[in-house]
């Protein structure tokens, strides 16, 4: 229960990796505010699961690709709670939102491209600007979720990869500027994990099969694999880790693309 008495906020936590992170932080003793975009019922189920663990849960709708929504969500957190210990930037454009941005390079269009950048990269800027003042004097922890697609080629993934690369750079800059305020800022970068997001890829079944075959640890990643590392970064044992991108992929990036294997 290392996070007992802490208040966490996780974006995009109605399902997938965000949900696993929210539940992990609750397991570790934190009260958890979750954000969702469209799936209110799913978010309310996550709140129930947090409360079943004996923690407080709270859900707030908001589009993290829109600054006015981000400001409204943080206004609500400020008004209702007045402080924050942990902020996890996890939301990602999904479903029809990515049309035009999740495509072969030569077919990229402005709409989906802007949505992905707005949610992944700019959303982190506007959120962190609001999270930091709420962490004053509280040894705050900020973790952004990235993906190893920043380094490897994956079909249709150019814009996500570029936006995640920007996110990792933003984390390093914030880590330097928020360090003197006693705030840890890091990135957790995951390999392929079986969620709805990855089901969008063409040849999803093939990706799953090949990922499991290639990964040194012998399987595809699960949301809980990332959640455990995020939970650790939110503890005081991780206090000397600052501005880093921690790769969590079962060793896949060590071997992917090596033709002799």
Q: Which sequence positions are flagged as catalytic?
A: 157, 164
Cβ nearer to ligand NAP, comparing 123 with 140: 123
Find the residue with minimal CB distance to ligand NAP: 16
Among 3, 16, 58, 184, binds ligand NAP (CB under 6 A): 16
Q: In 10 A of CB 206, how many CB atoms?
A: 10
Cα–Cα dist 23/128, whole Å = 22
Among 9, 22, 31, 65, binds ligand NAP (CB under 6 A): 65
In whole angstroms, the minimum distance from the beta carbon of 106 to ligand NAP comes to 23
Q: In 10 A of CB 77, how many CB atoms?
A: 21
Contact region with ligand NAP (CB under 6 A), list: 22-30, 124-132, 133-141, 189-197 = 189-197
Cα–Cα dist 52/49, whole Å = 5
DSSP state of 173: H
Name which of residues 34 to 53 contact ligand NAP (CB under 6 A).
35-39, 42
**Nearest-5° angle of CA 184, CA 66, CA 88?**
25
Residue 145 lies near ligand NAP (rule: CB under 6 A): yes
Residue 112 lies near ligand NAP (rule: CB under 6 A): no
Count of CA atoms in the C-beta half-sphere (13 A) of 92: 26
Q: Is 163 exposed, middle or buried (0-12, 13-18, 19+ CB in 10 A)?
A: buried
Residue 198 lies near ligand NAP (rule: CB under 6 A): yes
Residue 15 lies near ligand NAP (rule: CB under 6 A): yes
Interface residues with ligand NAP (CB under 6 A)?
11-18, 35-39, 42, 63-65, 90-94, 119, 145, 147, 190, 192-193, 195-198
């Amino acid at each position: 229960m290392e996070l007992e008495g802490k208040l966490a906020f996780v974006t995009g936590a109605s399902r997938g990796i965000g949900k696993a992170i929210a539940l992990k932080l609750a397991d570790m003793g934190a009260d958890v505010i979750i954000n969702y975009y469209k799936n209110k019922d799913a978010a309310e189920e996550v709140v129930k699961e947090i409360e079943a663990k004996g923690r407080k849960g709270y859900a707030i709708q908001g589009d993290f690709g829109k600054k006015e929504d981000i400001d409204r969500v943080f206004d609500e957190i400020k008004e209702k709670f007045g402080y924050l210990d942990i902020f996890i930037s996890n939301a990602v454009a999904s479903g029809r939102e990515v049309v035009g941005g999740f495509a072969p390079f030569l077919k990229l269009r402005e709409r989906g491209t802007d949505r992905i950048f707005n949610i992944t990269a700019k959303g982190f800027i506007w959120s962190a600007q609001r999270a930091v003042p709420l962490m004053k004097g509280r040894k705050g922890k900020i973790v952004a979720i990235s993906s190893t697609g920043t380094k490897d080629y994956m079909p249709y993934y150019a814009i996500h990869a570029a936006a995640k690369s920007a996110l990792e750079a933003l984390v390093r800059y914030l880590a330097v500027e928020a360090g003197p305020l006693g705030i840890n800022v890091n990135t957790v970068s995951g390999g392929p994990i079986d969620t709805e997001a990855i089901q969008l890829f063409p040849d999803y079944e093939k990706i799953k099969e090949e990922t499991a075959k290639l990964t040194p640890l012998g399987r595809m990643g699960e949301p809980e694999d990332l959640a455990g590392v995020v939970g650790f970064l939110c503890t005081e044992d991780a206090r000397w880790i600052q501005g880093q991108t921690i790769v969590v992929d079962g060793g896949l990036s060590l071997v992917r693309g090596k033709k002799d294997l």
